[in-house]
Amino acid sequence: MIQTSDKQTFNAKYLSLNSNNEIEQNGFNFRIFHNENDPDTANRIKVSSQLVEVEILPSKGFSLGQAWVEGKPLFWEAPIGLPDTETIDLWSDEVCINGKPAPGFTFLKTLVAGIELYGLKNWGMPVTSNGLLHPLHGETSNIPVGEVQFEVEYGNKCVVEASFLYRSFEGDLHLPWYERGAALFKVTRKVVLFKGSKEILIADTIENISNQVLAPDWGYHVTFRPEEGAKYLVPSKFVQQRNGNPVSCGFETWHQAEHQNIRTETGIIHKELLTSKSDDGSNIVTSLLVYPNNTGIAVSVPSVPYFQTWFCHGGKNSKEFTFQNNESLLKKNWDGMGIEFGSSPLDHNGNLDATVMYEPSIKPGEIKSITIKIENIEKDKLGA
């Protein structure tokens, strides 16, 4: 551990290099540790206030693994374990779909977190451009960070921060995959907790560090803990299924799988969303997950061209997603509900919200900022 003024810096990969791997300050606790069943350099961080605890995965693009409000989990229970992102080949065909090798779908064995940032050349389905395969959801959620900083500001909030470089990933094969090629973007994430609050703030920046104008293709997957009868409500005027079909009655409600070994997934595209203003004057959208007991989770994100709700259930030990030895990828049901939102359509089909004004390009030195606010909502605030 290296202490610099108010910030304390930790090595995220090699815990033995830190003089201390746990600190407590002004009612906030920070701990970086290794789980025995995880890959050697895949450590975890837990940061907590009196009401909220957040798990962060430094080996996976600083993704939020899980969070608890007064001990109750917010995000899903992933059907697979933490991957070894030091050695992963996201461009491989090791994952099969219905028995057929599927290049670019190796990402499927890495989807374990509650909040993941995707991109930055492609955040959607796999696509080939100029002869190069861009894998499913891109690379960002599997790039490890080297250092993590912890700071308590003004005594009433704590900030956990880390950065990584997004590169071209072409070049010297002797280097780890995430260190290959020219640096294009610097991605920085801050996770913020507040004293006496049930709010979690995620503040991301994508900085163009190249010498040319670039358009980062970014998106997010936010996957919450599902529950029979839970509803995900979005203030939108237009909805349709991701495949273009009309929505059915009850489209906003999650149900358990009728057949546990069969995975079913539904994506609902929302357009013309109601917005409000953030502190900086930008447009934000607030959606709401409501559980049957009338508690909920409010999620505020920037107004963006693509926004969909996502419902998935079932699939334990199914042969839909397997490795090439026919071993099922899913050790548990793929049960989750939440949102996917970003700068472009997942399916590269142009199905965007034309009412949203968005400039995709940023010049050298310019930054795109994305802030996500998650707040646990009690019964009294929902009108129960």
DSSP H or E stretch at residue 339: strand 336-342
Counting Cα atoms < 13 Å in the Cβ hemisphere of 207 gives 9
Going residue by residue through the chain, which has 384 residues, state the pLDDT in tens, using 9 for 90 and above.
544 446 899 999 999 999 999 999 999 999 999 999 999 989 999 999 999 999 999 999 999 999 999 999 999 999 999 999 999 999 999 999 999 999 999 999 999 999 999 999 999 999 998 889 999 999 999 999 999 999 999 889 999 999 999 999 998 889 999 999 999 999 999 999 999 999 999 999 999 999 999 999 999 999 999 999 999 999 999 999 999 999 999 999 999 999 999 999 999 999 999 999 988 889 999 999 999 999 999 999 999 999 999 999 999 999 999 999 999 999 999 999 999 999 999 999 999 999 999 999 999 999 999 999 999 988 666 654
What's the pTM? 0.95
First to last CA, the chain: 47
The 10 Å Cβ neighbour count of residue 41 is 17
> Burial, 246: exposed, middle or buried (Cβ in 10 Å; 0-12, 13-18, 19+)?
exposed
The 10 Å Cβ neighbour count of residue 163 is 17
| Spatial distance between the Cα atoms of 201 and 193, rounded to a whole number of angstroms | 7
